Amino acid sequence: MITAAGEKPLVSHSKDSAETPTLAESVYQRIRRNILEGRIMPGTRVSIRSLAESVGVSTMPTREALKRLSFEGLVEYDRRAVTISTLSPKAIRELFTIRLRLELLATEWALPRLDAETTVALRSVLDRMIVPGISAITWRELNREFHQTFYSCGDSRYLLELIHNIWDRIQPYMAIYASAMHDFTEADRQHEHMYQLMLARDLDGLLDATTRHLEHTAEAIVSALGADTTTGRGNNVNYEELSISSFHRLVESGGATSADLTAWYLDRIATLDSIDNPDGPQLNSVVTVNPAALDEARALDEKYARTGTLVGPLHGVPILIKDQGETKGIPTAFGSTAFADYIPDTDATVVDRLRKAGAVILGKTAMCDFAAGWFSFSSRTDHTKNPYDLDRETGGSSAGTAAAVTANLCLVGIGEDTGGSIRLPSSFTNLFGLRVTTGLVSRTGFSPLVHFQDTPGPMARNVSDLAAVLDVIVGYDPTDSYTALATSGPEVGDYGEALDGVDADTLSGFRVGVLTDAFGAGDDQELTNSVVRAAIDRLRHHGTGVVDGIVLGNLETWVAETSLYTIQSKFDLEKFLGSRRHTGPTTIREIVDHGDFHPLTDLLADIADGPSNPEDHPEYFKKRTRQEDWRRTLLAKMADAEIDFLVYPTVQVPVPTRADLAAKRWTALNFPTNTVIASQTSLPAMSIPVGFTDSGLPVGLEVVGRPLTERALLRFARAWELAEAPRRQPQIEASKARVTM
Tell me the catalytic residues: 322, 397, 421
- Sheet order of strands, 455-460 included: 286-289, 360-365, 318-322, 412-417, 455-460, 432-435, 685-692, 698-704, 645-649, 511-515, 545-550
* Rounded distance between C-alpha atoms, residue 375 and residue 655, angstroms: 10
* Rounded distance between C-alpha atoms, residue 78 and residue 72, angstroms: 16
Alpha helices for 289-348 (secondary structure H): 293-307
Per DSSP (E only), the strands in 15-135 are 45-47, 75-77, 81-84
Per DSSP (E only), the strands in 242-398 are 286-289, 318-322, 360-365, 385-386, 389-393
Answer yes or no: are the C-beta atoms of 325 and 333 closer than 8 Å: no
Half-sphere exposure of 239 (CA within 13 A, CB side): 35
* Rounded distance between C-alpha atoms, residue 706 and residue 683, angstroms: 6
Residues 6+ apart with CB under 8 A from 254: none
Burial class (CB in 10 A: 0-12, 13-18, 19+), 726: buried
Task: Show the 3-state SS of 702-715.
Answer: EEECCCCCHHHHHH
Q: What is the DSSP string of 185-244?
A: HHHHHHHHHHHHHHHTT-HHHHHHHHHHHHHHHHHHHHHHHH---SS-GGGGSB-TT--H
Query: Which of 316, 180, 320 is closest to 239 using CA atoms?
Result: 180
* Rounded distance between C-alpha atoms, residue 531 and residue 528, angstroms: 5
Torsion sign across C-alpha atoms 212, 215, 218, 220: negative
* Rounded distance between C-alpha atoms, residue 634 and residue 292, angstroms: 47
Collapsed DSSP state (helix, strand, coil) of residue 428: helix
Burial class (CB in 10 A: 0-12, 13-18, 19+), 162: middle
Query: Which of 249, 396, 268, 387 is closest to 334 using CA atoms?
Result: 396
Query: Which of 100, 93, 98, 111 is closest to 211 using CA atoms?
Result: 100
Alpha helices for 474-598 (secondary structure H): 523-541, 555-561, 565-578, 588-593
Query: Which of 713, 728, 706 is closest to 423 using CA atoms?
Result: 713
Answer yes or no: are the C-beta atoms of 439 and 481 closer than 8 Å: no
Q: Please state the φ and ψ torsions of residue 459, each to the nearest 5 degrees.
A: -135, 130
- Cα distance between the two ends of the chain: 57
The alpha carbon of 167 is separated from its chain's Cα centroid by a whole number of angstroms, namely 29
Query: Which of 515, 528, 534, 536 is closest to 655 using CA atoms?
Result: 528
* Rounded distance between C-alpha atoms, residue 267 and residue 739, angstroms: 6
Whole-angstrom Cα Rg for the chain: 28
Query: Which of 637, 592, 636, 627 is closest to 610 using CA atoms?
Result: 592
DSSP lists the bridge partners of residue 514 as: 647
CA distances from 238 to 43, 246, 405, 734 (A): 19, 12, 16, 17
* Rounded distance between C-alpha atoms, residue 508 and residue 505, angstroms: 6
